[in-house]
Amino acid sequence: MALAVTTDAAGRLDALTSWHSDWTGLRVGVLGLGATGFAVADTLAELGSDVLVVAASADEQRAGLIDVIGARLVVADLSTPPSELVEHAPDVIIASPGFHPDHAVLLWASEQAIPVWGDIELAWRLRDKVGEPAEWILVTGTNGKTTTVQLTATMIHAAGKRVAPCGNIGIPVLDAIRDPQGWDVLVVELSSYQLHHLRRSGPGALVPHSAVCLNIADDHIDWHGSFDAYRDAKSTVYANTKVACVYNKADETTQRMVEDAEVSDGARAIGFDLGIPGPSDFGVVEGILCDRAFLEDRRNSAIELTTVPELVAAGLDAPHVVANILAASALARAYGVPADVIHDALADFRLDAHRIATVAVADGIRWVDDSKATNPHAAAASLTAYPSVVWIAGGLLKGVDIDDLVRSHVSRLRGAVVIGVDRSELVAAFARHAPALPVVEVVVDDTGEVMPRAVRLAAEVAGAGDTVLLAPAAASMDQFADYAERGHLFAQAVREFLGGEADDQSASDRPEA
């Protein structure tokens, strides 16, 4: 028998906009038991809701805690809705980010008119648990999200504010809003998966202080079904913004997103790119990073934030990193952080592990780990930073066309080493656009042998002045646990091959976004 959400049930959900609302007895179905799913279950159980978690698999430690927190768990084949979920008759389903929109359980929920939330909407509704709710600053984009979140949080922290980077960066927002110390600001990294489930209006709609979409390129097409759907999900980041909609002047799509967004009265559009900034923009003038947005006489002057030589000294001078710094500075300045505080914060900032990290330099060859370049757009930014490259690439392409990336960068390639299950598409692209380029494939069954073999093959091609660059342009889960393991094994293989100590900066275990 088909279920239907009654008017009373829908009205109750609309009224749940505070930690102090009455959540008791609310029947909730939680999909997935990763970090997000567990945080959802733990939060709602604390509020007295009737929580049923359904998952295709479950970490033993988290599964063992479900009874302790007062929820229930069903581990089952989710190709159809489990009978336990149907009998639970949930008032709302909260989906973890990994569940595709066409997942069987979500299609069933749609047929039964059961509302589906993400953890971000739930966290927004509950944001007032600890005193005055924090302001939310939202960051999305195909690439550069984590770096920009970390930069923004670092700048705001340097101004003496209590700030938490959270969301897709690895810390569930629900954990942040429940922290007993409370926060002034949450800098929230949002993946397209999380944005897909966000509403733009009505109860539960976010009202961020400021927001940025850093860039848009083909990615996660297999999840969203089309580029248009992916772009539309990303554009949700600007909805209802109060102060600043920061966009990339070098990416027209992000500008159109801002132009089309329904924002709060008084919100400003703030552009950034590597060129000379106009009024209300951030940019670069003769090696000086400038703010021409947050000053009174912005039509005739600018505020210096830092200089390119200073960024070189800090290892932050790659063009895409400079763009991230400008975006983060715009968000921080929108919140009121002084320019001199931003300058000093940048002096001590270091990039995350597996993001254009130099592992070693030996015999004139630089070995660079950019395992976090999990799509073509990120790989293109990394390739552009080096004049002569032996490129280690490949993995799970996620339905993205690799042809343009290869065609655009063959002039800087000395050779290519292709790894991963989707090798044939890369090899074919090299054959079309660089038939004379040395291209070799790594064909091994043992994950532990992938990087040692790739490193040896790259060394056979590389010479003094070259960079051996791991920038896969693909996800890692075909052969590795995540991009962090892929980068760690690359650094380890380089160290063993060179017979010395490589600078292995692999202290990251965050999932790909």
Instruction: Name the nearest CA neighbour of 175 among 184, 161, 164.
Output: 164
**Cβ atoms of residues 85 and 74 within 8 Å:** yes
Query: What is the rounded distance in angstroms from the CA atom of residue 357 to the CA atom of residue 494?
Result: 13
Which DSSP category does 238 fall into? G
Two tokens at 179? 């922290």
Annotated binding site for ATP: 141-147
Question: If you write DSSP's letter for every residue of 98-148 in order, what string do you get?
Answer: TS-TT-HHHHHHHHTT--EE-HHHHHHHTTTSSSSPPEEEEEE-SS-HHHH
Please state, in angstroms and as integers, the Cα–Cα distance from residue 454 to each residue in 357, 405, 442, following that order: 18, 20, 6
Sheet holding 288-291, edge to edge: 163-167, 185-189, 135-140, 210-213, 244-248, 268-272, 281-285, 288-291, 303-307
Indicate the angle between helix axes 227-235 and 252-260, nearest 10 degrees. Answer: 60
Which DSSP category does 193 fall into? H
Three-class secondary structure of residue 188 per DSSP:
strand
- Cα dihedral 128, 129, 134, 139 in deg (nearest 10): -100
Query: What is the rounded distance in angstroms from the CA atom of residue 90 to the CA atom of residue 88?
Result: 6
Three-class secondary structure of residue 440 per DSSP:
strand
Please state, in angstroms and as integers, the Cα–Cα distance from residue 498 to each residue in 65, 290, 358, 365, 449, following that order: 45, 42, 14, 11, 16
Query: What is the rounded distance in angstroms from the CA atom of residue 125 to the CA atom of residue 205?
Result: 9
Three-class secondary structure of residue 322 per DSSP:
helix
Q: Which residues contact 177 (CB under 8 A, 6 or more apart)?
A: 123, 126, 127, 129, 130, 134, 186
Annotated binding site: 141-147
